[in-house]
Chain A
């Protein structure tokens, strides 16, 4: 059976691709990932077996951008807290002083302006948000103008001005713990941190401290490290934190599109054609 396997479609990090598995599948030609993040794969190891790799960058962008905006709005308007008040047995009167923070006209700082980051900018523009962004490379002027985004070469400038900081980078050695104590302290005390990238991009311990001491106002995290968090983790208990179970691409439509994209990549690899979304070890 193992001699017949030519392609693997990796669904939510399973199966685990290690030396043992690769050695047992001599005819494996391609691994197609369901999603865009490749941080769970040892790219060099896979390449050393002559196996090609592909991800699904296009199918994920809209649904992940929607998740980012959903978390931003839910956190700003205290939607989860509000729902619990609305349905809880102990409530007799609506609190007239239950207030959130404005989204329209606020400043959004996007860290990581790739496909997903850009789609977030497009959405945020419709909320008349002032958009700043930080990226390895600056986008073209046309692209910046289309969303009214201002480049911040230094991440510090973005952090100091933003009311909402949205983290949309891929996880690499350079972005590991990109947001730590220093970065959190540069943020406004009224600011909200939203993470839709990878848990390890944020120093979680530093985040807990920042949230508990009012260094920042709130956080909304679709990703953590690990997933799920241990059940006694402090982040699960903080009132000013919304955590969602890695919803990024979990829609019927996105799942379908991701699978289509993966199949395209697999067929190309098996037919010796150029692979549309090939990922090379850097």
Chain B
């Protein structure tokens, strides 16, 4: 299964009586109905760890691009109308700023490791607190209440998986708790953010900017307001899009499929 295709529904499962396993590319499985699959006796696997560093890298890329206004800057640098570069055109400094990571799983932790090297102050919110060693390795401070993280962060990065609990986790209330100078980075799933609330928040300068690798749907309708806002960077879900990682994902999926077909324990099985 690649990029959520084909769609796995009752009809498809009924038409494939000998289907033994669905191997999904990437780590997210929110697009699959696990109960449905299991009712047909079909196994499921994903590719959880191999995508982590690329996704963390992209999170950092988006944070840097947004804070320094890289896309706007590029447009100025190549525009036929540009005669000089204005001296008062500024971005915001990333080094030394406060990063709030919402979702400190494998990917969130790798973001923290990278951000630490930029001398960023790191806060995180997670279902469970990480142990002391892990926290001090990256200098991360636990915020049991997401509100505390939102209040203090210059950058809020979302790296949760999409579940019933994280659906619209960031809505109007959360956006209003953020600093007006803050930037929202989303590398998780579009549905973790209330998109309409986000558009409004950006319009009314409730927050400063957003950088999104994921939206709902993907791609957005061509007339969607998010596509037109100057303070928004959108990338087409490229979190794991490098040659090396894609090859590793395929290898993982092949391994899982082979195991599934021969009745052996399945690597990366999702239960």
Contact = CB atoms under 8 A, between A and B. Distances in A.
Interface of A: 11-12, 62-63, 65-67, 69-71, 73-74, 76-80, 82-83, 85-87, 89, 91-96, 98-105, 122-128, 227-229, 231, 236-237, 242-247, 250-255
A255 B87 CA distance: 11
Given A77-B57, A87-B234, A236-B78, A251 B91 contact: yes
B122 interface: no
Contact of A82 (B56, B64, B236): B236
Given A71-B70, A73-B57, A91-B222, 5 more contacts: A66-B64, A126-B113, A127-B57, A228-B82, A250-B89
Contact of A94 (B80, B118, B219): B219
A224 B124 CA distance: 40
9 contacts: A12-B87, A62-B95, A62-B96, A63-B93, A69-B64, A77-B61, A244-B70, A252-B90, A255-B90
A104 to B, nearest CB: 4
Interface in B143-186: none
A101 B242 contact: yes
Contacts of B53: 102, 104-105, 128
B7 interface: no
Contacts of B70: 70-71, 74, 79-80, 242, 244, 247
Given A74-B61, A86-B236, A231-B82, A251 B245 contact: no
A104 B70 CA distance: 21
A96 B114 CA distance: 27
Contact of A247 (B84, B91, B245): B91
Contacts of A244: 68, 70, 73-74, 77
Contacts of B13: none
Contact of B65 (A74, A128, A236, A237): A74
A100 B60 CA distance: 15
A70 B17 CA distance: 50
Nearest to B232: A87
Interface in B179-233: 218-220, 222, 227-228, 233
B54 interface: yes
Interface string B11-55: 000000000000000000000000000000000000000000110
B89 A245 contact: yes
Contacts of B67: 66, 251
B238 interface: yes
A71 B64 CA distance: 9
A254 B77 contact: no
Nearest to A93: B219
Which of the listed residues A62, A73, A243 has the most CB atoms from chain B within 10 Å of its own CB? A73
Given A102-B245, A247-B70, A73 B80 contact: no
B93 A82 contact: no
A103 B240 CA distance: 12
Contacts of A255: 90
B229 to A, nearest CB: 10
Nearest to B91: A251
Interface string B129-153: 0000000000000000000000000
